[in-house]
Amino acid sequence: MAWTIFYLMGLLAYCVCQVNSLSVTGLRTNSLQNPMGVSTATPRFSWWSTSTKRADTQIAYQIQVASSSSSLSSPDMWDTGKITSGDISTVYGGSALSSRKIGFWRIRIWDSTDTASSWSDIATFEMGLLSSSDWAASWIANEQYVSGNNSLPIFAKTFTVKSTCVITQARLYLLGLGQHAAMINGVAVTDAVLEPGYATYNKTLRYSSYNISTLLIPGNNAIGVELGKGVYDAVPGIGGRYMKFTNPAQQLKLIAQLEYTCLDGNKVTIPTDKTWVTTTSGPLLESSWYGGEEYDARNAYVDYSKASGNRTGWVNSNTTTSPGGILVGDANPPIKIIETFAASSVTKVSCQSL
């Protein structure tokens, strides 16, 4: 009896030792969580692990990549097999990645006892527009805009989604120089702010990619984009007050491409062109990284990004030239508002005193 107990205890201890002590989390593609607009055909995957015991380590890993989450059991894009390595990152080495391609990936690792962990949660990455031929859009501008004389340009475009189209996917690729803020049917496309980030514009143009699948509706739709100066056109503003950072005057301009796919496979592209309408009679007078914003609410177009919005007096935009750089997906994490503070006091000024 004693020998039986001893044997069972030893077997139990053996089984416990074979339980993997590592778990893998923090999956990133090019250091971003589930990024869109990936512009390299060889993105880098990274991860980190935690352990329930001291001095443990990863001795191997296996990554699987597939075109859908349901295909991961038999990956159709890449399966590394078991790779003996303590590395916590590696470069994608599977089938060629094309524009707009979406990948789903997961990983498992082996601990110091050579026992495999469970598969991680599934992460995703989405390729951007890898070639200039993927862009049907033109750069557009508002020739009426003159810094200090009128408001910063606003652009809008109405379009119709057929009632027979069940949208399976919709994306917006967008770059406004110096800053952009876009809305579709009155809803902001992102909670990120101060986009785009800094770049050497004659070399690199970092466009933003947005998943807008839930923003489009059957029937009439509209997209609206407001532009700011950022650091692209950082000239002293009205009254010359904004002098902390200056740049030579640049024409504010926009390139955007809205794409959606219907359940029947039909794909529709709505690019920036001369049919977009624009105004310089809006509320935003100044907007730059270092100079802040100046906003005249009396001139606000409340519903300008709705199909039913008032765009009376707006004119057609003009096409213009590129700043010269290559369009690539933004590889930086977004800047977001993480905390807000209530004003300590508010002073109301009558219209007559303005």
pLDDT digits (tens, 9 = 90+) for 52-110: 878 788 999 999 999 999 999 999 999 999 999 999 999 999 999 999 999 999 999 99
pLDDT digits (tens, 9 = 90+) for 202-234: 999 999 999 999 999 999 999 999 999 988 887
Which positions ≥6 away from 236 have C-beta within 8 Å? 242, 243, 246
Fold matches, 2-126 and 132-336: no
Domain ranges (residues) in the chain: 2-126, 132-336
Asked if residue 236 has a cis previous peptide bond (ω within 30° of 0), the answer is: no
Superfamily in which the 2-126 domain is placed by CATH: Immunoglobulins (2.60.40.10)
pLDDT digits (tens, 9 = 90+) for 302-351: 899 999 999 999 999 999 999 999 999 998 899 999 999 999 998 887 76
- Give domain 132-336's CATH number out of 1.20.120.1810, 2.60.120.650, 1.10.3480.10, 2.60.120.260: 2.60.120.260
Q: Which helix (H) or strand (E) holds 256?
A: strand 253-262
Mean confidence (pLDDT) of the chain: 90
- 3-state SS, residue 320: coil
What is the pLDDT at residue 11? 45
35, HSE (Cβ side, Cα atoms, 13 Å): 23
Q: Decide if 170 contacts 261 (C-beta within 8 A).
A: yes
Q: Decide if 285 contacts 151 (C-beta within 8 A).
A: yes
Flag whether pLDDT at 6 surpasses 60.
no
Q: Decide if 116 contacts 109 (C-beta within 8 A).
A: yes
Q: Decide if 203 contacts 325 (C-beta within 8 A).
A: yes
Flag whether pLDDT at 7 surpasses 70.
no
Mean pLDDT for 264-292 is 93
DSSP string, 98-126: -TT-EEEEEEEEE-TTS-B-PPPPPEEEE
- Cα separations in angstroms, 294 against 115, 129, 154, 187: 61, 35, 15, 22
